[in-house]
Structures are given as C-alpha cells and as structure tokens.
Amino acid sequence: MSLETVSSNLSFGGVQGVYKHASSVTGTDMTFSVYVPPHAPGMKLPVVWYLSGLTCTHANVTEKGEFRRACAELGLIFVAPDTSPRGEGVADDPAAAYDFGLGAGFYVDATTEPFARHYRMWSYVTEELPALVAANFPADMARQAIMGHSMGGHGALTIALTFPDRFRSVSAFAPIVAPGQVPWGHKALPGYLGDDKAAWRRHDTVALIEDGARVKDILVDQGEADGFLAEQLKPSLLVAACTDAGIDLTLRMQPGYDHSYYFISTFMEDHLRWHAERLG
C-alpha cells in the first residue's frame, strides 16, 4: 500500500510527517500523522497511538499536543489518525451537527445506511493503519500503547479492552466512558449501529468491563472545569466499573482545566512517560 507524503518537518531531531493513502477499508483517502524520534539506523521503536475527539482531524494533536520533545527523549513513535472518513460521497449528519457524521466516527464500523459504506473506523484503526505503519516506519509492533481524548478516549479504552494482548498500556484525557448512558452515545451508537444493543456494549468502556474485559491499569486525566463533565463524560461510572473489576485506575481530577488542548498539552508528557515505563 503506497503512501503519499503531504509534509515532512524536522523537530527535536526527529521527523514529523503527515501522510495520505487510499484506504481499502473506508473507500476514501485517509490522512494521518507520524512522529518518528531520532534513533540509530535499524532500531525498532515502540508506538503510541493517539485517537482524537469530536470535530478533530490528525492535525489537532499534531499542531497543539506538544508531544514531540517527550517522544524524542523517550524514543516513542507517535501516530495520530483522522476521526472519520472524508471526501465526496461520504455521508454526513443531515443537520450538519458536530457530534455525528464527518469528524465524529466514534471508532466503530457502522452497519446502518448510509454510513456503513465508509464509516469503518474500527477496522481502519485496528487493522489497516497498523499494517501500514508497520510496513513504512521503524515500528516495534510488539510494543504498542494507545491513548485518546474525549471520543478518542472512548476509542482508546474500548480498543485496549478488546485487544489487551496488543497494547501494553492505555490512557485517556476526558474520555467518554459510557456512551450507552450519555447523549453523545445515544446519538452515535444507534446512528451507526442500529438497534443492536449488544453491538453498543462492545463499544462502551463501562459495559465492556462489566462484561468481563480487562486491562491491568488505566490512567485518566479529567479537567474539573470541563463543560462536558457532568452530562457526557461521567468518570464516576468508570471508577465504579474498575473498582468492581479490580482494574487499577488512576483518575486525576485537574482543578481549573477544561476540555481543550490547553488541558491536553499540559498533561501530555505525564501520559507519555507513563506509557514509556510500560513499553520498556
């Protein structure tokens, strides 16, 4: 599968690239970014996946995440995919709402029309893009971590719980932990997956844990001034699920911080160091 280099810039001795390719999974062109830190020739490096939130593309974290200095020091490849398929003929919310359709793929494989044709972000992020990264970058695919923000935190947690042998660590910023119990999920899950509530549970962190999925530990940072905290995020539900399941959850409530990249960039290095310890 061929890659087109959109841009390439030297940063902290490594290379920040943006790439485009024709995806057979989504049936569209897809764009993603990869930071490769400085390294010796022939060396394979651990990979940290970052999944973005509603309305975002790969560019939000690439431009605002402030991850490169830490990744260069720690020797981590940082991969940031898009949040949905895009392009001519890709279905969108008829009302052009921000929380469904373009920019809001929710990291599921849609089964309802007209979204099923292109909205296959679960398969894209868990199958196609990892194969592409493994083939084109010095990635040690035996050492992978995953993290994300908001909708991307939902994606990171559900993917890690589904593939616990693939990812050595998982963390999130302000994740949607129980989409089956909040308005964002009440729109996205039936919109993409129809009335199959068993399918909803496979894409709900709290439900997955209740149904037996396990990871060793989780790191979550949550801003106390986040306007979505009470209605959409509900971290207390994750606390209860992890307590009952014996999962070691570190939930850090951060006074004064909101839902923005000012929040994310403040604690990004903490998360990368946490992952690096577990990646070896």
Is residue 259 part of the annotated active site? The answer reads yes
Residue 20: beta bridge partners? 4, 31
Dist CA 164 CA 243 (whole Å) = 18
Query: In 3D, which of 51, 41, 1 has the Cα closest to residue 21?
Result: 1
Phi (first) and psi of residue 200, to 5 degrees: -60, -45
Question: In Å, what is the CA distance from 213 to each residue of 166, 201, 205, 216?
Answer: 14, 11, 9, 10
Phi (first) and psi of residue 72, to 5 degrees: -65, -40
Peptide linkage before 130 cis (omega within 30 of 0): no
Separation of CA 34 from chain center: 14
Per the residue annotation, which of 149, 203, 259, 271 is the catalytic one? 259
Is residue 196 part of the annotated active site? The answer reads no
Dist CA 13 CA 68 (whole Å) = 10
Dist CA 203 CA 201 (whole Å) = 5
**Are the C-beta atoms of 137 and 36 separated by less than 8 Å?**
yes
H/E run at residue 241: helix 235-245
Dist CA 86 CA 53 (whole Å) = 15
Per the residue annotation, which of 150, 154, 171, 203 is the catalytic one? 150
Is residue 21 part of the annotated active site? The answer reads no
Q: Regarding beta strands 29-36 and 45-51, do their DSSP bridges make them parallel or antiparallel, or are they unpaired?
A: unpaired
Per the residue annotation, which of 52, 221, 226, 271 is the catalytic one? 226
**Are the C-beta atoms of 124 and 206 separated by less than 8 Å?**
no
Give the catalytic positions in this structure: 150, 226, 259
